[in-house]
């Protein structure tokens, strides 16, 4: 679902406050929609693919309910203040906000978390914000 990934990326990358908290990679904020390059620096954000994408149809429309994780990472410094600030900003950018997605009318965006990310080693600190989106197909 490229349109949703694009919309999420654009929301994150267009926020000046969030960009100031992140490293840069090739002139762009360190926000990745796939595996990060090996030379990418922290702090960074990884937008994971959907871990749930279920039909949310009505009698007259096609819809879907999608759950997406946005993982925020910093170097392990002994303090979680930076990673928590990044994750809280991500939550603020999405929770109950409108999100334009080509081909869909997104009528609900909820952001939950942040929760602790457990997919990295001890040298990295992570937090995950989970998005729940309910959308109706347009056109």
Q: What is the pLDDT of residues 2-59, one digit of tens each?
A: 999 999 999 999 999 999 999 999 999 999 999 999 999 999 999 998 889 999 898 8
Please calculate the CA angle 68-72-74 and round it to the nearest 5 degrees. Answer: 165
- Which domains are seen in the chain, by residue range? 2-137 (3.30.2000.30)
Q: Which phi and psi (to 5°) does residue 94 adopt?
A: -115, -35
Judge contact between 86 and 74, C-beta under 8 A.
yes
pLDDT tens figures, 56-86: 898 888 999 999 999 999 998 878 999 999 9
Spatial separation of the C-alpha atoms in residues 93 and 12, rounded to whole Å:
8
pTM of the model: 0.93
Phi, psi values for residue 79, rounded to 5°: -120, 140
How far is Cα 89 from Cα 18, in angstroms, rounded to an integer? 7
The model's pLDDT over 81-125, given as tens digits with 9 standing for 90+, comes to 999 999 999 999 999 999 999 999 999 999 999 999 865 567 889
Kindly tell me if the per-residue pLDDT of 136 is higher than 80.
Answer: yes
Maximal CA-CA distance, the chain: 53
């Amino acid at each position: 679902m490229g349109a949703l990934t694009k919309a999420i990326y654009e929301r994150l990358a267009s926020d000046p406050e969030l960009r100031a908290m992140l490293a840069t990679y090739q002139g762009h904020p360190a926000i990745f929609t796939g595996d990060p390059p090996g030379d990418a620096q922290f702090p960074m954000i990884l937008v994971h693919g959907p871990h749930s994408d279920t039909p949310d149809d009505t009698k007259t429309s096609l819809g879907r309910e999608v759950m997406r994780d946005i993982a925020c990472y910093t170097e392990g410094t002994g303090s979680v203040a930076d990673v928590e600030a990044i994750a809280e900003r991500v939550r603020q950018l999405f929770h109950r906000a409108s999100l334009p997605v080509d081909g869909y009318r997104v009528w609900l965006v909820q952001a939950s978390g942040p929760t602790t990310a457990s997919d990295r080693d001890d040298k990295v600190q992570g937090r995950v914000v989970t998005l729940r989106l309910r959308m109706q197909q347009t056109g």
